[in-house]
Amino acid sequence: MSYVLSGKRSISASTRARVERSIAQLGYHPNAGARALASSRSNIIALMIPLRTDMYLPVMMEIAIAVATTARGHGYDVLLLTGEEGPAAVRRIEGSALADAMILMDVELEDDRLPLLREASRPGVLIGLPADPAGLSCVDLDFEAAGALCAEHLAGLGHREIAVIGEAAAVYERHTGFAERTLNGLRERSGELGLRLLHRPCEGSYAAVAATLARVYDERPGTTAFVVQNEAATDPLLALLRQQGRAVPEDVSVMAICPDQLAAHASVPLTSVAVPAQKMGRHAVEQVVAKLEGRAADGVVLLAPELTVRESTGPRPVPVPPVSPR
């Protein structure tokens, strides 16, 4: 019976069926604690996801669910660590039998957890990309390429003045990898294409978006397109533009870097570069399981960005010349 439950040896279909019938009749469930004692492993993967007020929780939870379901498929449970403990959380896992491996999220460019992770005896994988990924296993969307893709799409429609509604200021103050890399990609490609780019952080509330929008038009009245990397800001931005009589996309184009579901169900379906949360979570687990099983794990996996054109982007509006008095 143990071979059927563990899957460690090949069993004939008829034998497997008989054993599974007996298991169902007896109401037997494998004891995870006993398994862990027998193998000197906990069969647990620690997922470190510091929950901050400036984070968009639905995306983080989508990644966490993908991690948990993929881990379960490999026979592991997931321990969720949500405190802002930084290196202390890595030390806690490394110095205890709480978990066999670690997956770290909310990665900063100069993340202070990384020196400990490099020296740890327990395998670790980052969902995110630091400035120096040497000696680390990482999986992330290629956010620099995502930013460049946004610039290319809007330039192709004739736009020349673009505003970026970014994450909350604290995200940039921490030098969070995904936000910094997106901005780098946008700036570099915009420079190559001759675009004027204005970036403004935003808290994401209706009042904050209203203030940011007013500031953008005060500084750059010729702005004809927005790139939004702040999921909470998308609906307020569309509502405010509508209230100001700016039609999307006839008067102004809006695109976002966000989950497909959010983009597709916006009041104006948004052209977007998808954040593949589930794919990122699955890749991270596959990498950490490969390490646990002694197989070679990829160093850095950057997922190629995918652009979906919907109803929110269109050609740059042609300025209407003033009518001369007769």
Give the pLDDT confidence score for residue 315 in this predicted structure. 98
Give the pLDDT confidence score for residue 83 in this predicted structure. 81
Give the pLDDT confidence score for residue 21 in this predicted structure. 66
Average pLDDT over residues 4-12: 46
> Which of the four pLDDT bands, split at 50, 70 and 90, describes residue 9?
very low
> Which of the four pLDDT bands, split at 50, 70 and 90, describes residue 6?
very low
Give the pLDDT confidence score for residue 215 in this predicted structure. 98
CATH code 3.40.50.2300 region(s) in the chain: 29-141+277-304, 143-275
Average pLDDT over residues 62-87: 93
Give the pLDDT confidence score for residue 18 in this predicted structure. 64
CATH topology (fold) of 29-141+277-304: Rossmann fold (3.40.50)
Average pLDDT over residues 173-177: 95
Return the HEC string of the chain: CHHHHHCCCCCCHHHHHHHHHHHHHHCCCCCHHHHHHHHCCCCEEEEECCCCCCCCHHHHHHHHHHHHHHHHHCCCEEEEECCCCCHHHHHHHHCCCCCCEEEECCCECCCCCHHHHHHCCCCEEEECCCCCCCCCCEEEECHHHHHHHHHHHHHHCCCCEEEEECCCHHHHHCCEHHHHHHHHHHHHHHHHHCCEEEEECCCCCHHHHHHHHHHHHHHCCCCCEEEECCHHHHHHHHHHHHHCCCCCCCCCEEEEEECHHHHHCCCCCCEEEECCHHHHHHHHHHHHHHHHCCCCCCCEEEECCCEECCCCCCCCCCCCCCCCCC
Question: What homologous superfamily does CATH list for 143-275?
Answer: Response regulator (3.40.50.2300)
List, for residues 128-158, the tens digit of each pLDDT value.
Answer: 999 999 999 999 999 999 999 999 999 999 9
Give the pLDDT confidence score for residue 40 in this predicted structure. 65
Supply the pTM of this predicted model: 0.84
List, for residues 33-61, the tens digit of each pLDDT value.
Answer: 444 444 467 999 999 998 888 888 899 99
List, for residues 303-323, the tens digit of each pLDDT value.
Answer: 999 999 999 999 999 876 655
Residue 25 in this model has a pLDDT that exceeds 90: no
List, for residues 219-272, the tens digit of each pLDDT value.
Answer: 999 999 999 999 999 999 999 999 999 999 999 999 999 999 999 999 999 999
More confident residue, 77 or 40: 77
